[in-house]
Structure 1
Amino acid sequence: MATDSRGPTVIRVAIGFATWTFIVICLRLFSRIFVLQRMGYDDYLILCACLTSWAFSAATVASVEYGLGSHLADVDPNNMETYALVVWLSSMFYLATLGFVKSSVCLFYTRLGDRLLTRISLVMLCVIVAQASSFVLTAAFQCRPIQKAWKPTLPGNCVQINVFYLANAALNILTDVLTYTLPLGVIFKLQVPIKQKIALGFILCVGLFACISSIIRITYIPAMLSDPDATWVISKAMYWSVVEINVGIFASSIPSFKPIASRFLPRLIGEYSVGKGYSGWSSSGDAKKYSVGFARVPERNLPMGPIRPQQPEGDSMIGTQIGCGGIQSQERIIVPNGKIYAHTEIETNVEVSRDIVRLSSSSSL
């Protein structure tokens, strides 16, 4: 390998992001299987995205071994056919990964509970599925016969691959922007703590960084399609493709980290949960497992009786009194001259148990 080869950089980027994605998907599966004990269709789509992403990274590393990142003059001509085959395979893995990631994000949006967002997300899902399917099929059958894609000397014909790659990149950027900005209106309307809104905004920012990666990638495509030193100029487009798809997987997986934070780092997101589940802006939809972190008081028959306080002349008053052990509550509604006021008095005398002290101490950590 030549000393000025970009191959080592491509390999480091591919392996580094593949490792990062493996950690991300392990955390996501831990959250869904062990914390929430529930998987969704968006999780299965991300699993498919991870598989095709790792296949793309493997193809990228293999293509370096056959010349990618080196100047064409330094590449063994006997390796060019294998190199072209690996690049042909990598294009399908790349396009399929983008489709899986954006489809997963759209399905996640349908579980946020907003009716309008759900409808728009389903429409967007249909657009993405149609786009990804057509792009993968076009990449696979770009030449007739198919082998001409990596054996250019064979008789036959191919599509205008330059036009296809540019159109593909532009449409991917458009659907990226539309996908990651769909829930902006819902976020502003959500009645959740400010920390959770910040977290949602962070998700969108990460998703938009995937869009930026795609924009950076498209700037290298014209040179890649016109420069005779093909194996050299393609290297930057390849590792930006790796960045784009792996950042997309990470952005779509961020919501699944909230159950882990709710259970193990509750103060980080402003809540305390001792149950296995969580609530809020997650995609779970299973709120019955959520616990706010306070022990439930046993139900008892509480004695109730009328209040006999002194009241000003000419005023009407209705009241109740509740008593249970060391806790007493009195509530009065006073109606002076046609106006209504509510007045509540609560007296408590609670013996704090060791369990409550322990819970309070752990919550303050």
Structure 2
Amino acid sequence: MAETQGPKVVGIAIAFAAVTFVVLLLRLFARVYVLKKMGVDDYLIIFACGFSWAFSSVTVVAVQHGLGAHYEDVDKTGMVTYSLNVWLSSMFYLTCLGFVKTSVCWFYTRLGDKYLTRLSFIMFGVITCQALANVLTAAFQCRPIPRAWDTSIEGTCVNINVFYLANAALNIFTDLLTYTLPIRVILKLQMPRKQKIALVFILCLGLFACVSSIVRITFIPEMLTSDDPTWAISGAMYWSAIEINIGILAASIPSFKAIASRFLPRLIGEYSSGKHYIQRSGSGFSKVRGPHSVGMNSLRSKNHTVVGTEINSTLDRTSEERFIVPDGKIYAHTEIQVRQDRI
């Protein structure tokens, strides 16, 4: 039996496509059923999932026509179909990356920090332009276009080797910028430790997507220069599948907080109450906008006689604690608003 990496490539592509399907279902459940509100980042990630599944589909078809096998063992009559699916996979991969990173940037705008919001919109524009330029270059790399997958057609093509290497390096750079953008804000967030750990975990997943991209780029030089191209491309293909699907997972984890707040409130330090929950500290994944404030007011009766002292302590945007001191006794009165999570 001829040696092939095809089953490995197909297994990874299908497994991660299944994981992404579950992730999207959970995200939509959180947004539609729990929060009853969809955001721009949700629609962007839906498109990302669609292109991720398209990438997995054409990868499976390419395997059926030789991807993963040694070139000498491949049926040469199917090479045009093989090349067409590889060409399509490059565009689906680049488009998916663009949607994932723009979704992450849009999520950052909801953390409530003005500085982070400005940076996120700038990165959103940069990534959009980068993704558009990459997809157009991959799509129109040859003139006429069909020459990209059928070398029997006469025409000219750009130096695709240089494009793939430059594009991979630029993707790693924008990945690092995207996933490290909120570190400054996270360090300053006033929130329960469990929630801060959750945010750090999200960033680590995003950085793992960067690692996947770095591993992927190590396969590209051999893929572009090897005399055994159908075999050499295998590593780049399955690491591409890992990269885009881990990116989708990292972008979707924040939405799972709404599900945890409803069904597992103790997991994130909150208590559930029907469709709402009581926030014990902080404001979820949102930045506390104002500093703590403490004020003292005198409590007077109708005849203006002082009967106690009130100390107001604004702990966050959703609660206020008052210490009332009448006749030498101290009582603590805490007001907590009950609301739904908006993240």
Aligned to 2:17: 18
Aligned to 1:204: 203
Deviation sequence 1:307-340 (CA, Å, 0-9, x none): 9xxxxxxxxx93249xxxxxxx97337xxxxxxx
Aligned to 2:84: 85
* One-letter amino acid matched to 1:127: V
| Superposed structure 1 runs of 4+ greater than 6 Å apart | none
Q: Measure, in 1, the Cα distance between the counterparts of 2:76 and 2:324.
A: 92
Q: How many residues align?
A: 305
Q: Measure, in 1, the Cα distance between the counterparts of 2:162 and 2:324.
A: 78
C-alpha spacing 1:72/1:277, structure 2 compared with 1 (3 Å) = farther
Q: Measure, in 2, the Cα distance between the counterparts of 1:344 and 1:32.
A: 47
Aligned to 1:69: 68
Aligned to 2:329: 344
* One-letter amino acid matched to 1:171: L
C-alpha spacing 1:320/1:65, structure 2 compared with 1 (3 Å) = same
* One-letter amino acid matched to 1:146: I
Q: Measure, in 1, the Cα distance between the counterparts of 2:331 and 2:101.
A: 54
Q: Measure, in 2, the Cα distance between the counterparts of 1:218 and 1:85.
A: 22
Aligned to 1:331: 325
Aligned to 1:318: 306
Cα distance, 1:271 vs structure 2: 1.0
Q: Measure, in 2, the Cα distance between the counterparts of 1:157 and 1:330.
A: 82
Cα distance, 1:14 vs structure 2: 0.4
5 Å matches for 1:136-285? 136-276=135-275, 280-282=283-285
> Is the aligned partner of 1:105 residue 2:104?
yes
Q: Measure, in 2, the Cα distance between the counterparts of 1:330 and 1:123.
A: 48
* One-letter amino acid matched to 1:203: I
Aligned to 2:7: 8
5 Å matches for 1:35-54? 35-54=34-53
Question: For structure 2, which runs of at least 5 residues remain unmatched after alignment?
Answer: 287-299, 310-322, 333-343
CA contact (8 A) 2:90 2:138 kept: yes
For residue 344 of structure 1, give the secondary structure of its aligned residue in structure 2.
coil
CA contact (8 A) 1:112 1:281 kept: no
Pairwise CA RMSD of aligned residues?
2.4
C-alpha spacing 1:277/1:90, structure 2 compared with 1 (3 Å) = farther
For residue 273 of structure 2, give the secondary structure of its aligned residue in structure 1.
coil
C-alpha spacing 1:39/1:277, structure 2 compared with 1 (3 Å) = farther
Q: Measure, in 2, the Cα distance between the counterparts of 1:35 and 1:112.
A: 19
Q: Measure, in 1, the Cα distance between the counterparts of 2:141 and 2:238.
A: 23
* One-letter amino acid matched to 2:325: E
For residue 239 of structure 1, give the secondary structure of its aligned residue in structure 2.
helix
Deviation sequence 1:81-129 (CA, Å, 0-9, x none): 1000010011000000000000000000011110000000000000000
Aligned to 1:356: none
Aligned to 1:311: none
Cα distance, 1:272 vs structure 2: 1.2
Q: Measure, in 2, the Cα distance between the counterparts of 1:190 and 1:275.
A: 28
Q: Measure, in 2, the Cα distance between the counterparts of 1:332 and 1:151.
A: 88
Q: Measure, in 1, the Cα distance between the counterparts of 2:284 and 2:65.
A: 47
Q: Measure, in 2, the Cα distance between the counterparts of 1:147 and 1:161.
A: 15
CA contact (8 A) 1:305 1:320 kept: no
> Which of structures 1 and 2 has the larger relative contact order (alpha carbons within 8 angstroms, sep 6+)?
2
CA contact (8 A) 1:96 1:136 kept: yes
Residue identity over aligned pairs, in percent, reads 62
Cα distance, 1:274 vs structure 2: 2.0
For residue 273 of structure 1, give the secondary structure of its aligned residue in structure 2.
strand
Q: Measure, in 2, the Cα distance between the counterparts of 1:201 and 1:9.
A: 31
* One-letter amino acid matched to 1:332: P
CA contact (8 A) 1:128 1:175 kept: yes
Cα distance, 1:3 vs structure 2: 4.1
Cα distance, 1:268 vs structure 2: 0.8
Question: For structure 1, which runs of at least 5 residues remain unmatched after alignment?
Answer: 284-303, 308-316, 322-328, 334-342, 348-365
Q: Measure, in 2, the Cα distance between the counterparts of 1:105 and 1:183.
A: 11
State TM-score, norm by structure 1.
0.79
Q: Measure, in 2, the Cα distance between the counterparts of 1:103 and 1:32.
A: 18
Q: Measure, in 1, the Cα distance between the counterparts of 2:324 and 2:192.
A: 32
For residue 275 of structure 2, give the secondary structure of its aligned residue in structure 1.
coil
C-alpha spacing 1:268/1:196, structure 2 compared with 1 (3 Å) = same
Q: Measure, in 1, the Cα distance between the counterparts of 2:237 and 2:207.
A: 19
